[in-house]
Amino acid sequence: MIARAWHRAALALLLAAAAALGGCAAQTETLRRAPPAGLNPRVELAATPFFPQTEYHCGPAALATVLAGLSADATPERLGEEVFLPARTGTLQIEMIAGARRHGAVATRLPGTLEALLRELQAGHPVLVFQNLGLSWYPLWHYAVLIGYDLESAEVMLRSGTTERLVMSMRTLEHTWVRAGSWAFVALPPGQWPATAEEKAVVEAAVGFERSAMPTQAAQAALAYRSALQRFPDSLSLRMGLGNVLYAAGDKNGAALAFEQAAQRHPDSAPAWMNLASTRAELGQREAALAAARQAASVADATWARQAQSLVESLQRSFGASN
């Protein structure tokens, strides 16, 4: 990642070349010509902390910025030990997401549009962005934190590198961000979600947070699922995830309720009925368990048919029931 002092002059030239060669900044032009309804003309999250990066450590510095206030341990030095890869002299995107989760944050990818970035800022969420400050044939990968924008002047403000308040044209941000794959995320405490988050990204974030959480953080993982379900109540993945995390925490009644709701909303889901049957059986609810298992067998496709039928037979033997 960019850090060396001798890069600065070359970087300025590359940025100028990138802006010149990047073609029309279509999203920037659209936002200026027809500002989206409900979007403030100017936002700046001036209270966002600043951590100047050291050599190659733009990733840890940017991550510390978005984790400030969420984790006292998320210092650039600590994060550098956790996410920086010396062999690559930088930090991979997957490590940035994992680093946020290790410090108790739910890291959620954003839609790949400038409007989504601006709406997150309006919601009070600094946005970690990935940029290619070079060219396609000479990439200079860089992480920064977007903290503000001004539609009238078509400028954005970032915490970037060793600059506390970098003012950049929105066109240049668009070019450098799109060139790096339009990758950005917001880190929030469990129970909160980005304003623009889409269902797939929310499911991925909730599942990833659960898998990264310590056993003592089961309540936080459940909170992440429950809050996500308020936005996407028909998500089978979220309801199954909630059931699984409650079961792992020893709350079998809560897990059974989550699996029951999943099965009711998705009656063709054999896994939902099977999980419900197994949990009901552990709770000693024999008839309800058998009924759920039989329902699983009746709707199972080729992938789940054998397992569903085996569950029915196992419960019948256990309960001494007949067909």
How much is the mean pLDDT over the chain? Answer: 90
> Residue 145: is its pLDDT beyond 90?
yes
Lowest average pLDDT, out of 33-42, 111-120, 132-141, goes to 132-141
> Residue 210: is its pLDDT beyond 50?
yes
Lowest average pLDDT, out of 17-21, 64-68, 242-246, 308-312, goes to 17-21
Give me the torsion for CA of 208, 63, 47, 157, rounded to 10°.
-110
Q: From CA 256, how far away is CA 213, in angstroms rounded? A: 22
Q: What is the DSSP string of 24-90?
A: --HHHHHHHHSPPTT--SEEE-TT-------TT-HHHHHHHHHHTTT-TT--HHHHHHHH-BGGGTB
CA 23 to chain centre: 30
Which carries the bigger pLDDT value, residue 29 or residue 20? 29
pLDDT of residue 21: 42
pLDDT of residue 310: 97
Which residues are CB-contacts of 180 (< 8 A; sequence separation ≥ 6)? 130, 131, 132, 141
Confidence of residue 124 (pLDDT cuts 50, 70, 90): very high
**CA-to-CA separations, 30 to 37, 122, 171, 294, 309, in angstroms, rounded:** 13, 18, 11, 55, 56
> Residue 91: is its pLDDT beyond 90?
no
Confidence of residue 90 (pLDDT cuts 50, 70, 90): low
pLDDT of residue 231: 97
Q: Please answer whether residues 297 and 312 qualify as being in contact, where contact means their C-beta atoms are separated by less than 8 angstroms.
A: yes
pLDDT of residue 1: 57
Which residues are CB-contacts of 288 (< 8 A; sequence separation ≥ 6)? 280
How large is the C-alpha radius of gyration of the chain?
A: 24
Lowest average pLDDT, out of 68-82, 133-147, 244-258, goes to 68-82
pLDDT of residue 19: 47
Q: From CA 105, how far away is CA 220, in angstroms rounded? A: 10
pLDDT of residue 8: 47
pLDDT of residue 87: 52
- Closest CA relative to residue 288, chosen from 297, 298, 278: 278
The whole-number average pLDDT for the span 12-38 is: 72
The whole-number average pLDDT for the span 236-263 is: 98
Confidence of residue 82 (pLDDT cuts 50, 70, 90): confident
> Residue 7: is its pLDDT beyond 50?
no
- Closest CA relative to residue 32, chosen from 118, 94, 97: 118
pLDDT of residue 56: 60
> Residue 17: is its pLDDT beyond 80?
no
The whole-number average pLDDT for the span 22-46 is: 90
pLDDT of residue 321: 53
| Sign of the dihedral through C-alpha 276, 279, 281, 283 | negative
> Residue 4: is its pLDDT beyond 70?
no
pLDDT of residue 75: 86
The whole-number average pLDDT for the span 276-292 is: 97
**CA-to-CA separations, 224 to 106, 124, 156, 228, in angstroms, rounded:** 8, 19, 31, 6
The whole-number average pLDDT for the span 110-125 is: 98
181-208 confidence digits (pLDDT tens): 999 999 999 999 999 999 999 999 999 9
The whole-number average pLDDT for the span 223-237 is: 98
**Per-residue tokens: 206:** 């909730």
